[in-house]
Amino acid sequence: MSDWKEERVHTIRARQDLPVSFSLDKKEEAFFAAEGQQDYQFAFAVTPYYFSLIGDSPDDPLRAQCIPRKDEFQIKKYEVLDPLWEDPYSPLPRMVHRYPNRVLLLVTDECALYCRHCFRRYFASRRGGVISPGQLRTIVEYLQLHTEVQEVILSGGDPLVLEDTRISALLHILRYEVGRTLVLRLASRIPVVMPQRITPQLVKILSQHSPVFMITQFNHSREITPASRQAISSLVDAGVPVLNQAVLLKGVNDRAETLAELFQGLLEMRVKPYYLFQGDLAAGTSHFRVPLAEGFDIMQKLRGQISGLAMPVYAVDLPGGGGKIPLTEIFLEKLQKGWYCFIGPDGKRYYYPKEAP
């Protein structure tokens, strides 16, 4: 494997960076042909490592996650740039406080690879930089006052694109300057798309600031490679628990057999399948969303194929800022006129489209 910094230098970021031998299909060509002509176009970046895993077919499940298509320009009337309504729950820049006992920090807007199904495309790739010392100081003061907060989730972007010194300083401040022990979660796709980044030095930094949990996103069993196995093993061996949040994606993993293979593979790596997320209503992602009825059917089939230990929670972030709920009958009130009506944790009604084929 190449060094992770070499991966960053040679990351594919434009049509001209793709190998000459790599043939784009019509939908992929149409995306690049429209560059600069759209009101909004999500950035493109894929690491050489992940690119080496994708297949020649446009229907390849890994290729679909990283090579953009013109489908991203088709925006449904109910799709928005900020589907989780994070901005209204941001009392401070780069901090989201939706749930009483935890906050989310948007550490950086940069990722090693921009997943085409990304729900935070309103923020990721905007090149707003990294959380500043002043912003972090204000957040620490907020946490000192809000003693109900017990967990801090570090996300973005991907926090692990930062240098070791920045990561270490950030964790040190959160661990020692707030005045109480916080559970720290690192939300990162780095073990999947650039496992070279999980170096002995980084693992040492994470283990020194325990309790630190790694929350990653494997969406297909082909993403489990010798390199990603090695990265995960080094984390778990050092006492950093790893959990996985997969996204249910049309054409990628929307079959029970595909997910069963993924979840069993994760268990063998000592990674707990944590969540399987229904697609958010992010602008330009409708071609990835699986109808809810199909999602329910897939989960029913999965229960007959894998153990409870391998089963994640099927969940959705309710549109309009309703928060995260498990997709079970207790939250589903009714289906009416093409919309599912869910009762959120706050008792209010939230609607998710049926999106039948």
Exactly one of 15, 27, 76, 102 is catalytic; name it: 102
Exactly one of 8, 69, 70, 98 is catalytic; name it: 98
Torsion of CA 304, 306, 307, 312, to 10 degrees: -100
- Whether 109 sits among the annotated catalytic residues: the reply is no
Exactly one of 50, 60, 70, 111 is catalytic; name it: 111
In 271-357, the DSSP E strands lie at 272-277, 313-318, 323-326, 332-336, 339-343, 349-353
In DSSP terms, 215 is beta-bridged to 187, 243
Exactly one of 222, 324, 341, 351 is catalytic; name it: 324
- Whether 237 sits among the annotated catalytic residues: the reply is no
Exactly one of 78, 99, 142, 351 is catalytic; name it: 99
Under DSSP, the state recorded for 12 is: B
Helix, strand and coil percent figures for the chain, each rounded to 5: 35, 20, 45
Tell me the C-alpha to C-alpha distance, in Å, between residue 11 and each of 7, 19, 219, 227, 357. Answer: 6, 12, 21, 18, 36
Exactly one of 317, 340, 350, 352 is catalytic; name it: 317
- Whether 66 sits among the annotated catalytic residues: the reply is no
Exactly one of 120, 185, 189, 289 is catalytic; name it: 120
- Whether 317 sits among the annotated catalytic residues: the reply is yes
- Whether 349 sits among the annotated catalytic residues: the reply is no
Q: Is 193 helix (H, G, I), strand (E, B) or coil?
A: helix
Under DSSP, the state recorded for 130 is: B
- Whether 341 sits among the annotated catalytic residues: the reply is no
Exactly one of 109, 114, 118, 314 is catalytic; name it: 118
Tell me the C-alpha to C-alpha distance, in Å, between residue 252 and each of 171, 246, 248, 264, 324. Answer: 34, 11, 8, 17, 23
Residue 356: CB atoms within 10 A of its CB come to: 9
Residue 254 and residue 248 in contact, taking contact as beta carbons nearer than 8 Å: yes
Phi/psi of residue 319, nearest 5 degrees: -60, 150
**Active-site amino acid positions:** 98-99, 102, 111, 115, 118, 120, 280, 317, 324
